[in-house]
Amino acid sequence: MPGFTAYFGLLDIGQPKEGETVLISGAAGAVGSVVGQIAKIKGCRAIGIAGGPEKCKYVVEELGFDACIDYKNENVKKSIRANCPNGVDIYFDNVGGEILDIALTQINRGARIAICGAISQYNNKTAITGPANYLSLLVNAARMEGFVVFHFAKRYAEAAQHLSTWMAQGKIKSREHIEKGMENFYPTFQKLFSGEKKGKLVLQIAEDDL
Ligand SMILES: NC(=O)c1ccc[n+]([C@@H]2O[C@H](COP(=O)([O-])OP(=O)(O)OC[C@H]3O[C@@H](n4cnc5c(N)ncnc54)[C@H](OP(=O)(O)O)[C@@H]3O)[C@@H](O)[C@H]2O)c1
């Protein structure tokens, strides 16, 4: 499912062209890690945003992104400017909130923003406020579009064929972080928000637990 989300979100919503710059938040996660690797396959420059030096190292050295911005330790705006000298053509947003707002200030004319998720907002106790910098869409004649992977269900076979071919060719790598036991559901679920994982978070339920 995360691979399909990356596939349709980047290719259908983002519509990447060779040589363009793709910025991806949640870059070390299940969806974001695949988005950046497909962007590279399509001849784009892939710049990730992830939390912490270890994740950023993984995104660049193991997944092959061109660079990764550590949003917990860097000035995100300055780092986007430094790593995207030609601006951002596609922003694939997994986190929403402040990072989306900053990304909006760095987009190019005709940019596409794929709204995949907004994990920074899911546990808000107050109302979610929209991005303050949305007028950047106007001046850049840009587009921000949400999508739901399930709406592409009729095309899953197409995505599976491409993704499996790229995996067999070693062009896409995926990693699973596996925790075990139904009794660990709650602390495992919390890792989605604390970020203490790389790749797809999986809770394995052994037969004993059923
Ligand atoms: N549109 C769709 O059809 C569709 C389908 C599947 C998933 N999604 C969405 O896509 C997004 C990514 O899903 P996923 O399964 O790949 O999750 P994930 O990236 O594997 O896990 C969540 C990651 O989000 C980051 N994060 C958590 N809180 C954050 C915050 N406050 N600010 C910035 N980053 C934060 C953490 O990474 P760091 O350690 O790097 O901070 C964490 O590891 C989610 O928003 C999910 O809801 C959408």
SS (HEC) of 77-95: HHHHHHHCCCCEEEEEECC
Report pLDDT for 165. 98
Closest atom, ligand 1, to C-alpha of 200? 20
Q: List Cα–Cα distances, 185 to 70, 177, 180, in angstroms.
A: 28, 14, 9
Distance, CA 38 to ligand 1 centroid (Å)? 18
Per-residue pLDDT of the chain (210 residues; tens, 9 = 90+): 999 999 999 999 999 999 999 999 999 999 999 999 999 999 999 999 999 999 999 999 999 999 999 999 999 999 999 999 999 999 999 999 999 999 999 999 999 999 999 999 999 998 887 899 999 999 999 999 999 999 999 999 999 999 999 999 999 999 999 999 999 999 999 999 998 988 899 999 877 655
Question: Domain 2-168 falls in which CATH fold?
Answer: Rossmann fold (3.40.50)
Structural domain boundaries of the chain? 2-168, 176-209
Measured in angstroms, how far is the CA atom of residue 9 from the centroid of ligand 1?
14
Distances (CA, A) of 33 to 42, 118, 140, 184: 15, 16, 27, 25
Could you give the C-alpha distances from 109 to 51, 89, 146, 165, 200, in angstroms and in order? 28, 8, 19, 33, 33
What local confidence, expressed as pLDDT, does residue 208 receive?
62
Q: Closest by alpha carbon to 39, among 137, 143, 159, 172?
A: 172
